Amino acid sequence: MNAATGNYELPFEIDGKAGLTVGEYRVDIVSDGSLSLGDPARLFLGQGETTIRSTLREALLSDTSVTMDQNIAILRTHNRIVLVDAGTGGAPGFGMGSGRLPSQLVRAGVRPEDVTDVLITHGHSDHLWGLTDLDGQVRFPNAIVHISEIDHRFFTATANDGHPIVGSQMEGCRARFAAVGDRLNLLQDGQEVLPGIVAVAAPGHTPGHMMYRLQSGKQTLLLSGDLAHHHVMFLRNPDIRLAFDADQGQMVETRKRHFDMLATDRIPFLSYHFPFPGLGFLTREGHGFEWIQLSRDSFSHLPATKKVKGNRLGETHISADPVETKAGRSLE
């Protein structure tokens, strides 16, 4: 118990989901499984191979193969059920460890037809392709799908079919957008997507990569998408580049700017690819940062909350009291 923040409880579970409450929103994290991305020396750029492998060994991680989680948020309030990203959809090429979102939604008590909105952080296949099943049918038939206008334009342009990073994904992305049809909502930076949820541009990984700021009352959670893929490499040295980034230099600057904000304001955030459930804080460590995974004691040292202004994310604390939810279509 802390006099400033109260008694917070985080009812983490071990069956593939974790949960907490942010104001009026119940937030559950479920897993779409894992991705194996191979040799770290080919994935992380800007440091020598010896340094990359030794950094991973020091963190008690494999220095020969990188495996990343896929953490998907379910946001529930009195009239909405919102997913943040849709996973791989079990599409071929992602391996047997991926594509688990449908079964995890069942375990979380969510029917596909009850999902009202899907917030897509960017157009990559591990975030977008779960919008349809393997037969090409829309998985969430009543949901509005939200994505940045910039990424939609990029991933539907036939001129990008030869893109060295994502060219092979373009046809699949266009098929998903076509399946969604007129239920697609294109976003701008700073736009309020839904009550309490604002789109925050974080370009570089893709041209229109978006994060989403969830604020309910005085409480804030940043749904950061692919701001950082690895909980050690990008934090120890924020200048490291990722082979999959569309504009590597821009993404380094984006990442460092938001890392500084997260560490300064102690804002909890969800990372799509950090170890499940991907919820935590950043603290400064030398010339870099350290990720502190959210725990039941995480809130005892948080500063007093303050009102968020503009697109600044602000300071926060979170409670974990249960919230009654039901599906609905109202935008109120």
327 part of a folded domain: no
240 part of a folded domain: yes
315 part of a folded domain: no
CATH code, 158: 3.60.15.10
Burial of 159 (0-12, 13-18, 19+ CB in 10 A): exposed
325 part of a folded domain: no
* Stated pTM of the model: 0.85
Mean pLDDT score, 254-260: 97
**Nearest-angstrom CA–CA distance, 152 and 121:** 11
8 part of a folded domain: no
238 part of a folded domain: yes
Q: What is the per-residue pLDDT across 158-199, written as a single tens digit (0 to 9) for each?
A: 888 888 788 788 898 999 999 999 999 999 999 999 999 999
Report the mean per-residue pLDDT for the chain. Answer: 85
Could you tell me the strand order of the sheet in which 144-148 lies? 17-22, 25-38, 66-77, 80-84, 117-119, 144-148, 184-187
Mean pLDDT score, 37-64: 95
% of the chain exceeding 90 in pLDDT: 70
2 part of a folded domain: no
pLDDT band at 322 (very low <50, low <70, confident <90, very high): very low
Q: How many CB atoms lie within 10 A of CB 38?
A: 12
- Report which of 148, 149, 87 is spatially closest to residue 112, judged by C-alpha positions: 87
Domain region containing 218: 17-293
Buried b (16+ CB within 10 A) or exposed e, 92-130: eebeebbbbbbebbeebebebebbbbbbbbbbbbbbbbb
pLDDT at residue number 191: 97
Please check the confidence at residue 36 and state whether its pLDDT lies above 50: yes
**Nearest-angstrom CA–CA distance, 256 and 276:** 23
Q: What is the per-residue pLDDT across 259-295, written as a single tens digit (0 to 9) for each?
A: 999 999 999 999 999 999 999 999 999 999 999 998 7
112 part of a folded domain: yes
Q: List beta partners, residue 144.
A: 117
Q: What is the per-residue pLDDT across 92-125, written as a single tens digit (0 to 9) for each?
A: 777 778 899 999 999 999 999 999 999 999 999 9
Domain count, the chain: 1
